[in-house]
Structure 1
Amino acid sequence: MALINIKDQVKSSKQLILDQRLKRTSSLLSPIMVLQGQAGEIYDLKFNPNGETLASASKDGTIFFWEAQNECSHLGSVRHKNAVLGLSYSPNGDTLVSCSADKTINIWDLETLKPIRHLTQHHSYVNCVSHLKISNDIFVSCSDDCTVKIWDYREPKAIKTVKQKYPVFTCALSSNPKNLYFAGLDNVVKVYDFSQLKLEFVLEGHTDSVTGIDINPEENSLASVSMDGSLKIWDIRPFYSGGGEELKNEQTNLNSIQDELEEETQSESRKCHHSFNCLQPPIEQNLIKCQWNSKGNWVASGSGDRFLYVFDVEEQKILYKLPGHTASVNSVAFHPKEPIIASAGSDRKIYLGELMKY
């Protein structure tokens, strides 16, 4: 396992601005854009698949839509009854799924900005939603009610449910193989076979709650960010064995998907590739998120120290440490096509920054 220290080479925002005076690399009006308008902390943000718009989720219950180029104009908004905690665009960009502290999930038609479905099966805060990358209809959600649910747009109720002992903060789906990933208060990332809901393996190494996970485009690596101040990179290839931190691979046969007890029947050695140990947990205890870029060589993360971090995974170093926010940076997003990174903070601001390379 490689430990990455804050003393590694970091490109500051001043150097970023100096570089960008020489050459512009994006369609933004200015190398750095600041978006404001929501009345509460901003917990999540996502670019749509073609990169034309940006959605932001706020504590005030609103979801704002912004133009992701030129002047970044405000395009419209929708609302939940309580704080909006997570967002996920469908792969075709026609719909947006949102989850909320009001215990509900909404599926929004982005042409009309009207809800297609209003899902109410969770019994506490719904913390995260994430689509299956090869399907416009399948997504996963996780909640403080200790459940992870898989949904199909065409069905009014969840098609599968996994019951846990502790609140679940973050979740994701992979398509090849079809696996379900989730993490939360118990400090580990669990990996389930999507079809049979069998526990495949557990990624162990964090020492505090895991608040954000993301799978790289090739679906062979996973990034996880934790309240322990680290961002870890894991190899999730089938049958992989090797690397740094040991983790346990458990094969479980569940008599019921609602069972809370998990019986270990198999184990194998797996490892954490790299650990970047320079983040700070937020004072507000918000759920910090991370994201890979479209090439799968960089990972960005928010942090409680008010900086946006961009890590070069291949070179194992901090590439950018970007200031600007005056409170915790809760969520980050890479533009899918241009060298732009967005960040959302508890200061109720969104920053869009132009990067020199991508």
Structure 2
Amino acid sequence: MGTSTSRRMDDSDSRSRSDDSSDQDSDLTAILQYLIRSGQVHIISSNRDDSEDEFVAAASPPRMMDSPPNTKELDKSEISLATQQACGLIHSSGHERPNSIAAMINARERGMFGRSSFTQGDRCKITNNYIPNKMKTVATYHSKAFCGTYSEDGNYFLTACQDRNLRLYCTTEGKFEMLKTIQARDVGWSVLDTAFSPDGNYIVYSSWSECLHLCRLYGDSETQDALPLCPEERRFCIFSLVFSSDGREILGGANDGFLYVYDRECNQRALRIEGHDDDVNTVAFADSTSQILYSGGDDGLCKVWDRRTLSELNPKPVGVLAGHMDGVTYIDPRGDGRHLISNCKDQSIKLWDVRVFSGSSGQNNTRKAVSDQTWDYRWQKVPKKLSNPKKNLEGDTSVMTYRGHRVLQTLVRCHFSPEFITGQRYIYTGCAAGRVVIYDVLTGKVHSVLSGHRACVRDVSWHPHRQELISTSWDGTLGRWTYSGKIASAIEDADITCRLDQGFRGLRRSRRIAQQRERQQKSQDAPEQKNVPGC
């Protein structure tokens, strides 16, 4: 999670030293670094106000870039064209669309769009005018909240808190109701990551433990299965984990520099791959095939792996993405198998095309830049050379760099906005200054800054089908963000997509048909369904 100094110190302790006092000093240094590294000890200023979080002072809002972002590579990239089509800015049909919502609806009613009516891009173009901007606190804890994510269908929300509890909420039809609390086991400092299984029946979580823990969400069973990873290091944790698309495997990134794959069918570790020179802070599957893996670590590199060619004895990535100047904290794939974004302690998010790998020169420049860092992001302020660098590293092969948020104190996460309602037009991230920062993918600029928390926002999750996101903060609160404006009531209406696509007459007709089908269904035996109390 931090630097690998403690591991190096442990290695050096085995060497003989001639001076006893030097031995004691080194041992104390190693012990202190170990405690800080594992989160059991924090450096706190003696003159701070006890009522405030110890890290807030280091997380002042960043100064915005004076010059406009350089979009030269982005403008000519494939992702720029794909994003413009997905969010309705341009159309593959060649038909010119009006810009305003009123003009689009008027043109549709006059038949100017032909039989196709509104396309998915048209709907995204409309809803992108109503990005969430107002927060309501929906949960408050007495400890720092670390993880918060929607299920794939958006019906549930899962959080993990430093009080060693996981909490599951029902979020159907705009609700936010507690369903159950799961007490985590074998937790050293905090639960570090969670994930829903693709079928929605299980969750898995990780902590400072040699095992992952698998929990069943449905039914009355409170059984938790320990999934041993059998690491070689005594002090071990998984910082990041994710299910494969078929739910059979769980991929994890660990503090020993290795990637771990656990096979649920065989109930054992399937792979242990030496991936990075330092902590592996983040892992992901590139797409639904589960064959291509991404990883990012404290060595500043993002690596691409092919499961079909992986070998524990001689693990080699198919490519490396270099250009960051400090450790990578999170990776989010776009889902097209070609693009991803990475959040970094150098205070930037980078957009990558995995078909353009970095050469040895770029990789060496990244390694050198990381090794030259003399600050610790967990409690120190950002150095000026990272706050607003004048140029990228030589050999940087990223498509675009986004700046305007703070990555401090913890592994802050970033994501692409949902495809269904935004066309993945935006990148959003937490921020150590207690904010949510939303970037426009196409311009590189900050689209909006959502301020409402008193401490670091580590995680943010956008609902897959609604203009709504939830921020998870170290101030112990969850904030639900929705749009507040002239047509807020229309956006909050669950039938907005139907209205945009069919008009009010079509909506009334579809409701009549739905009611008829419901009456018919009631007369038949309903199939057995999963039952979650309270939802």
TM-score tier after normalising by the smaller chain length? 0.7 to 0.9
The question of whether the paired residues in 2 share the 8 Å contact of 1:221 and 1:235 is answered with yes
Aligned-partner Cα distance in 2 for 1:340–1:50: 14
Paired residue for 2:163? 60
2:177 aligned with 1:73, yes or no? yes
Paired residue for 2:334? 216
Q: 1:145 to 1:340 in 2, by over 3 A?
A: same
* AA in 2 matched with 1:234: W
For these two proteins, the number of residue pairs brought into alignment is 312
- Bigger Rg, structure 1 or 2: 2
* AA in 1 matched with 2:301: V
Alignment of 1:1-358 (within 5 A): 5=65, 32-69=135-172, 70-80=174-184, 81-82=186-187, 83-112=190-219, 114-115=222-223, 117-121=225-229, 122=231, 123=233, 124-132=236-244, 134-163=245-274, 164-175=276-287, 176=289, 178-197=291-310, 198-236=316-354, 238=355, 240=356, 247=362, 271-282=397-408, 285-295=409-419, 296-355=424-483
The question of whether the paired residues in 2 share the 8 Å contact of 1:225 and 1:231 is answered with yes
Shift of 1:305: 1.5
Shift of 1:107: 1.6
Q: CA RMSD in A?
A: 3.0
Aligned-partner Cα distance in 2 for 1:289–1:183: 12
Which aligned segments of 4 or more residues in structure 1 are displaced greater than 4 angstroms? 6-9, 246-249, 355-358
The question of whether the paired residues in 2 share the 8 Å contact of 1:217 and 1:294 is answered with no
**What is the identity percentage for the equivalent residue pairs of Structure 1 and Structure 2?**
20
**Structure with the bigger percentage of strand:** 1
Moved more, 309-318 or 335-344: 309-318
Moved more, 107-116 or 81-90: 107-116
Q: Deviations over 1:4-39 (max 9, x none)?
A: 938879xxxxxxxxxxxxx9x99x9x9633133433
- TM-score, normalising length: structure 1: 0.79
The question of whether the paired residues in 2 share the 8 Å contact of 1:32 and 1:354 is answered with yes
Shift of 1:146: 2.1
- Classify the secondary structure of the residue corresponding to 2:337: coil
**Structure with the bigger percentage of helix:** 2
* AA in 2 matched with 1:150: V
Task: Provide structure 2 residue ranges, at least 5 long, that are not aligned to the other structure.
Answer: 1-63, 70-126, 311-315, 365-394, 492-496, 498-535
Task: Provide structure 1 residue ranges, at least 5 long, that are not aligned to the other structure.
Answer: 10-22, 250-268
Q: 1:195 to 1:299 in 2, by over 3 A?
A: same
Aligned-partner Cα distance in 1 for 2:337–2:463: 19
- TM-score, normalising length: structure 2: 0.54
Q: Deviations over 1:64-112 (max 9, x none)?
A: 1112254412111112232111111122212111111234311221103
Shift of 1:342: 1.3
* AA in 2 matched with 1:228: D
